[in-house]
Amino acid sequence: MRKGNHQSLLWELSNGTAGKSYLLGTMHVRDYRAFIYQDIITHYIDKCKIFATEYDLRERHQLKGNDFANLPEGIDLKLLIGKHKYNRLRKILIKSFSVDLDHLNKTLPLFIINILTEQILTKSKSVPLDTFLWQYAENTQRELRGVETLSEQLTTLSKLPLKYQIKSLLEIGRNPKIFRRQIYKLINLYVKGDIYDLYKKSRKSLGKQRKLLLYDRNMIMEERIRALMQEETSFIAVGAGHLGGKKGILRLIKKKGISIKPIKLDLI
């Protein structure tokens, strides 16, 4: 999707034979700003038989007792980045985000960064947006699905180099104000429905890992979205950063002959 083209977080998909399906870009946050279109979105969920998020949220029980968020046995952050750097980083994160690394010393940096992001945004809702939509679809008897499996997502995350994760965490420590501004920018772009700039920000932030975390997953998700559409009318909610761009889901799905149309999210 190019800047200047119609942009929206919500898109109508049609293959010319079955009924219309819908693709929504979401954010996994509890910030009230991500929920401003919830009434419009739930109206379109009501039109569909199937509701799908990135993975089937009923699979979350697999996470209990799982050490997927932990560093390998015998390794901790202090050992990885050195005592001096660790202590300096710890002081910065306590001051800037009220997060104490001593409580997260055995946690993968990727998940620490997620915690820092949550500290920046407001937690005005009881659950993140994608979970709220899942609960709505469940309560209205939609058929619930996942585009990927939880196992697939965890396998992808396990391939993310530890060196890359540490570098990203240290960069936040070097300039927490820039990180805070970046997160504010993302939520503002989301509210505007600017999927083009959301894609650009995602691509830039991922660096050399964009193929693993963005491009490869887009190809898998696009294929499975088409399969859901062929089965029944479907409402699919995935991270907003996956929609736009030359290798985004919208472009990929259009190349396969699916008609796409932005739905205006006007608040009246």
pLDDT tens profile 78-131: 999 999 999 999 999 999 999 999 999 999 999 999 999 999 998 889 999 999
Task: Band the pLDDT of 252: cuts 50, 70, 90.
Answer: very high
21-26 and 143-148 as β-strands: parallel, antiparallel, unpaired?
Answer: unpaired
- pLDDT of 1 reads 44
Over residues 153-181, the pLDDT tens digits come to 999 998 999 999 999 999 999 999 999 99
The closest alpha carbon to 173, from 230, 213, 113, belongs to: 113
Q: Tokens 């920046």 label which residue?
A: 120
Tokens 């379109």, located at residue? 44
| 40 contacts 132 by C-beta, under 8 angstroms | no
Spatial distance between the Cα atoms of 155 and 169, rounded to a whole number of angstroms: 21
Classified as helix, coil or strand, 44 is helix
Instruction: Confirm whether pTM is higher than 0.85.
Output: yes
**For the chain, how long is the longest CA-to-CA vector?**
63
Q: Which residues of 160-187 are buried (b: 16+ CB within 10 A; e: fewer)?
A: beeebbbebbeebbeebeebbeebeebb
Residue-wise pLDDT tens digits, 215-245: 999 999 999 999 999 999 999 999 999 999 9
Mean pLDDT over 194-214 rounds to 91
Q: At what angle do helices 83-97 and 162-174 cross, to 10 degrees?
A: 60
Query: What does pLDDT average to over the chain?
Result: 92
For residues 202 and 241, is the Cβ–Cβ distance under 8 A? yes
More confident residue, 63 or 204: 204
